[in-house]
Structure 1
């Protein structure tokens, strides 16, 4: 294995070329600027700014199970570690074989990955998962919900680092899947571009729906066919939803140009975000192929499902294409809990045929307590604590915690009777007093 310093000394020590006197460079027009550009690129390699632009990592899901043999202990299962480092073709450095250290919540772990020829990072024997012992080590460093993970190149001075999050969920948790492009945004293509231009192009009411689900105890999984190399920018986008709407100047400019703008000022709740493991071109081919998105999302959902053992973990899914619906059904999500939104923000149940069942996300909000009754989980307990301190919108009156067994029974009824009916209405009546009012708080 080679450290990054060995490569620097061998491959790149002459990258900037010999020093040129100020008089010589000044005598040739543009020469001073050329050498300054070279010096800037070498400096950028030192702090990793070149590589960071083409690096990325998907979030990781850890699921905690009680150990049947030792109830006071836990077993952990995790999704794949997808990490991609930037290509450094401009400076001629080959990063293959370099070690990458893994830090969790800023604690250095025993985990070490290696950069392969395709610039993907892998564990021993080409695995995307650490060993069972290492999984247990990481599990003990995690707190419920979101945790930081940092991948750092091994060397005296790190050339670059890649950041993502690890989400710790429990085996009894319920998960709601949400596509991003066309589902959070109003368009597969324009939503992300609009964010870069500083205005909102998201569906009105989507933040209310997802915040209700989070406060009701559901775990949120954002699933997107975007390339892994823009994972950081996608996280920034999710974090910024609702922020641009508060900037009246950018919204006013968008309205002057005749563009739809969102009125939401409520941010999205945190949720695990998983992208493709591909760079731009392969990811684009996946997105444009007729069956690529379905295969990708089906594969990810089957992996997440396997982490929960024999429990049915998925409670619902939001998307904007028939391929989303197909992937969600393959993961075991009831058709009556699959919601597809069109470009006009109309929401369909199961498939986009006939009349839409809901005119918007806002009208869907009115049915959420029936469709998704509150569940007991660490996420709910966190919000319940905030409620007692007067910081949450969970209604004080009428809500009593529903046990995991009750929730399993309710969802089994929904699975057998996709059209809703009396069973659904009964659960709705015994369901709950979760408020749909929103405070704008972004929960952990």
Structure 2
């Protein structure tokens, strides 16, 4: 979950007050060296399981608003999104600059000027993968200050009516210039990505590997994805020409359009009940490959 820009408002917000009360930090009793009994509070950026349960989250994205009221500035609000996923969900990781956009530096500038600098076919591919039951996680080394701009760009991408699936946006908690220098100049974004993805992987059971596949555009991305357990057969990198390369077979170049045609093989349907996710349901295993029903003579049954 990432916060969006703060918006000043002097009015009260009952929903925000309820959220604030529900996630209030519980007191932790600690015994100081002086042997006197006092109540201490522990600051934490992570909610406990009990505090999360009080939020009564629904499956998928949950829009939340944090608010703080001061005497002179009134009420300030900060909006964000909490995603609730199942313990056995499969996650597809996607980089942004150079992966969704055609290049790193221009991918951050040209979309702000109204120029479409997106790889052709990526929206259709991601949409098809999401239709088969996979969750998307967008991880970038951009600075946290660019969260609203980056989120707006992901919502803006549109390929003939097909948009990118919604998913958490993970950005580097550093300043704009340091993040830009690390991403574009040093070209070492893997430091943040490895720590971030490992933190997310630890939310799942130790015996489960939540990351199913990953998309990037640099060897640094491949290294980061490998470190968090993504198999190399499902790590894809794309170059500025739009050529898609699978890490296990680097000599075989494909594209987002071509992978969209093979999405049922590379990203098979997770839920067998979702046959409607097939682009051609008449050729599914239930309709096309099943054995024909034998003919029965009703007179013999009489």
TM class by shorter chain equals: 0.7 to 0.9
Matched, 1:297 2:213: no
Matched, 1:336 2:226: no
How far is the alpha carbon of 1:281 from its aligned partner?
Answer: 2.4
- Checking the alignment, whether the CA contact within 8 Å between 1:204 and 1:264 is kept in structure 2 is no
Matched, 1:374 2:269: yes
Q: CA RMSD in A?
A: 3.1
Counterparts of 1:290 and 1:125, CA distance in 2: 37
Q: Deviation per CA, 1:346-384: give whole Å up to 9, x if none.
A: 01112795x4421x21012122211110113xxx97xx4
Counterparts of 2:15 and 2:202, CA distance in 1: 24
- Superposed counterparts of 1:128-143, under 5 Å: 128-138=45-55, 141-143=56-58
Aligned match for 1:181, one of 85, 93, 97: 97
Q: Deviation per CA, 1:324-351: give whole Å up to 9, x if none.
A: 1111111111101000000000011127
How far is the alpha carbon of 1:296 from its aligned partner?
Answer: 0.8
- Superposed counterparts of 1:72-151, under 5 Å: 103=16, 107-112=19-24, 125-138=42-55, 141-151=56-66
Counterparts of 2:75 and 2:179, CA distance in 1: 26
- Checking the alignment, whether the CA contact within 8 Å between 1:102 and 1:149 is kept in structure 2 is no
Matched, 1:163 2:96: no
* Distance of aligned partners of 1:217 and 1:143 in 2 relative to their CA distance in 1, 3 Å threshold: same
Number of the residue aligned with 1:307:
203
Number of the residue aligned with 1:408:
none
Superposition TM-score, scaled by structure 2 size: 0.77
Number of residues paired by the alignment? 264
* Distance of aligned partners of 1:217 and 1:286 in 2 relative to their CA distance in 1, 3 Å threshold: same
* Distance of aligned partners of 1:85 and 1:175 in 2 relative to their CA distance in 1, 3 Å threshold: same
Counterparts of 1:173 and 1:162, CA distance in 2: 29
Superposition TM-score, scaled by structure 1 size: 0.54
Number of the residue aligned with 2:130:
214
Aligned match for 1:396, one of 272, 276, 281: 281
- Checking the alignment, whether the CA contact within 8 Å between 1:150 and 1:164 is kept in structure 2 is yes
Counterparts of 1:398 and 1:340, CA distance in 2: 31
How far is the alpha carbon of 1:133 from its aligned partner?
Answer: 1.9
How far is the alpha carbon of 1:149 from its aligned partner?
Answer: 2.0
- Checking the alignment, whether the CA contact within 8 Å between 2:138 and 2:169 is kept in structure 1 is yes
Number of the residue aligned with 2:258:
363
Number of the residue aligned with 2:296:
none
Counterparts of 1:183 and 1:334, CA distance in 2: 19
How far is the alpha carbon of 1:397 from its aligned partner?
Answer: 2.9
SS at match of 1:225: strand
Number of the residue aligned with 1:153:
68
Counterparts of 1:339 and 1:230, CA distance in 2: 25
- Checking the alignment, whether the CA contact within 8 Å between 1:298 and 1:330 is kept in structure 2 is yes
Number of the residue aligned with 1:414:
none
SS at match of 2:125: helix
SS at match of 1:239: helix
How far is the alpha carbon of 1:144 from its aligned partner?
Answer: 1.0
- Checking the alignment, whether the CA contact within 8 Å between 1:192 and 1:237 is kept in structure 2 is no
- Checking the alignment, whether the CA contact within 8 Å between 2:57 and 2:84 is kept in structure 1 is yes
Counterparts of 2:184 and 2:78, CA distance in 1: 28
Number of the residue aligned with 2:293:
none
Deviates more, 1:193-202 or 1:233-242: 193-202
* Distance of aligned partners of 1:149 and 1:336 in 2 relative to their CA distance in 1, 3 Å threshold: same
* Distance of aligned partners of 1:161 and 1:232 in 2 relative to their CA distance in 1, 3 Å threshold: same
* Distance of aligned partners of 1:190 and 1:288 in 2 relative to their CA distance in 1, 3 Å threshold: closer
Structure ranking higher in helix proportion = 1
Counterparts of 2:133 and 2:240, CA distance in 1: 29
